[in-house]
Structure 1
């Protein structure tokens, strides 16, 4: 990251994000990051019927159920991103627009991978097919596009909306050698 100073471009040191478990006090800030990040990556790439279930209030009501599986990133006092891991899936990964390019997403993803590696050898995640920016990011992080998948996005009324997505996978740990 660079800053202009008196006509010269000088490198600016961006503070390293700090990771910690999410708390109930984080819920509203996380819902806001999730809402805006979701819109950035999904608008124009998901069925229009899903938009009725992805309003700010919907993210606020869904966030408390995510907290126990969520790790947040902070820079200073500011909450800038989060990763949610369930079993072998990186379910959510969002970074505030102002913190993109700071290494926060990569650090959150590595944390998610290590959490999964404690139990599983392979991790997976779904990316909306049209979200080229996210797809490039995951590929740079060593994830492999394993093909098309229909992701069933949950709705508040108990239904689902099928979202055309891509399934990405990564081998995150090797099988332990058996002792015979």
Structure 2
């Protein structure tokens, strides 16, 4: 006789203050992977102590966590009509997690009366760019962004209507 073990299901829920440490740990790992080849070598082994917590902000303020059971596997946040962040670790990508976070962010932006949304990423972040373009976002602007140590990239701005 076999026992069926229920698999945890993906849940997108509002972030809480108690999620902060898990979100900071999640984003720290993804940050290193994403920026390692593009920032000065001394800054990639560990981001500045304050950088990731400042980047994450307060998950309880317009932030959402994606969980499987008790495990935080994604994070997203918005400010005004901008999707500020979507973070999903590489092994968990292409499973609908980023899409679910983006859908929740768009719902929040739409509920507050905006008719367009914006999002951005650096030009070297091909997975983020491909994700946004596959979701119907259009590149509307690009501006140089210094990365330190004489390095730079272009910050890309995407937009899409919410109608």
Cα shift readout 1:59-80 (whole Å, capped 9, x = no counterpart): 2465453531211111112111
Q: Distance in 2 between matches of 1:64 and 1:148?
A: 25
Corresponding residue of 2:3: none
Q: Distance in 1 between matches of 2:116 and 2:108?
A: 11
- TM-score for the superposition, normalised by structure 2: 0.79
Unaligned runs of 5+ in 2: 1-6
Cα shift readout 1:113-154 (whole Å, capped 9, x = no counterpart): 11111221111111111111111111111111123124589x
Corresponding residue of 1:30: 23
**Residue 15 of structure 1: how far off its partner (Å):** 5.2
User: Residue 140 of structure 2: which of 135, 139, 146 is its match?
Assistant: 146
User: Residue 131 of structure 1: which of 122, 125, 130 is its match?
Assistant: 125
Corresponding residue of 1:92: 85
Deviates more, 1:84-93 or 1:15-24: 15-24
RMSD: 2.9
Q: Distance in 2 between matches of 1:96 and 1:135?
A: 16
Q: Which has the larger radius of gyration?
A: 1
Q: Taking structure 1 as reference, are residues 38 and 79 closer, same or farther at Cα in structure 2, changes over 3 Å only?
A: same
Q: Taking structure 1 as reference, are residues 15 and 143 closer, same or farther at Cα in structure 2, changes over 3 Å only?
A: farther
Q: Taking structure 1 as reference, are residues 89 and 163 closer, same or farther at Cα in structure 2, changes over 3 Å only?
A: farther
Q: Is the 8 A contact 1:42 1:128 kept in 2?
A: no
Q: Taking structure 1 as reference, are residues 152 and 23 closer, same or farther at Cα in structure 2, changes over 3 Å only?
A: farther
Deviates more, 1:96-105 or 1:37-46: 37-46
Moved over 6 A (4+): none
